[in-house]
Amino acid sequence: MDNWLSKLERKFGRYAIPNLMYYIIILYAAGFVLNLVNRDFYYQMLSLDAAAILRGQIWRVVTFIIQPPSDSLIFIIFMLHLYYMIGQQLEAAWGAFRFNLYFFSGMLFHVIAALLVYVTTGISLPLSVWYLNMSLFFAFAALYPNVQFLLFFAIPVKVKYLALLDGLYFAYAVLQAFLPAYGGNALFGIYYKANAVGAVVSILNFLFFFLGSRNMRPYSPKQLKRKREFQKNIRKAQRPVQMYPNGARHRCAVCGRTELDDPNLEFRYCSKCSGNHEYCQDHLFTHTHIK
């Protein structure tokens, strides 16, 4: 899967939206204000309503993301700050393209799930991106398991333990769909089923994207720190630019490709190799070190 993602990144990486979570937060803030002005407008015109989509209201496959995570001003400020922090860290670790792909594929899976449920059962589930956002916490915990959060602003807890609680929350959302609806109310039953589908789809998106990657080491915090320090040392050393016979400035010591072969290729020197050996992004972490 890594090779597949790398190929997609080289081909479409220039279309990625940098600082994506910043714009997502703006959409949530706009949705919060919209709810204050007209609470019903979102569900009437913007929500992920499969029946309405099949009637021609195609914009709903995008606009459903505007639903804010809470109606409480205090809670939404806290949640948007948390989302932004996690999103920024994941984008810094994965790169803009892979973070874009994770979030937009999660949205796409929600749309597909809503349509499949409607076609097979006739029920239009009001899916939101709440569980997609919560699944970002799993990815964050996988990359930064020992980072500490202050629970209730006082108790230091490592992220990996909070991720376990997050997992229980997802499991309860799925289990709740099989329990009797509160008070026998059918609307609660639909709400529970929507939560279950959203939780399952978000977990599948996480597993497909993150655990399906064969090698996430290049995107770990230690590797990123090492790369930044090495690049800083290179700039300080003011290494003279080497020109190859074909006019290229960079060439991979493994595959021999240059920036003339593919302008989207990135090249780095390896700090563990003796001499000035440069590698493309596909071989920087997989080559045999030269001593």
What confidence score (pLDDT) does residue 238 get? 47
Residues pairing with 279 in the sheet: 268
Over 90: is that where the pLDDT of 22 sits? yes
Instruction: Give me the percent of the chain exceeding a pLDDT of 70.
Output: 81
pLDDT in tens, 219-241: 555 666 666 666 666 655 544 45
Over 70: is that where the pLDDT of 66 sits? yes
Domain ranges of the chain: 2-215, 220-280
Specify whether the backbone of 177 is left (phi greater than 0), alpha (psi in -120 to 50) or beta. alpha
CB-CB neighbours of 201 under 10 Å: 23
Instruction: Read off the pLDDT band of 249 (50, 70, 90).
Output: confident
Report the alpha-carbon distance of residue 22 to residue 234 in Å, rounded.
31
Q: Which of 109-118, 170-179, 251-260 has the highest mean pLDDT?
A: 109-118
What confidence score (pLDDT) does residue 188 get? 60
- Residues 249-267 have a mean pLDDT of 85
Q: What is the pTM of this model?
A: 0.69
Strands (E), 132-179: 148-151, 155-158
- 268, containing H or E segment: strand 267-269
Instruction: Read off the pLDDT band of 247 (50, 70, 90).
Output: confident
CA 192 to chain centre: 25
The CA-based dihedral angle spanning residues 210, 105, 94, 6, taken in that order and rounded to the nearest 10 degrees: 90
Instruction: Give me the percent of the chain exceeding a pLDDT of 90.
Output: 19
Q: How far is CA 177 from CA 64, 120, 164, 170, in A?
A: 22, 17, 21, 12
3-state secondary structure of 23: helix
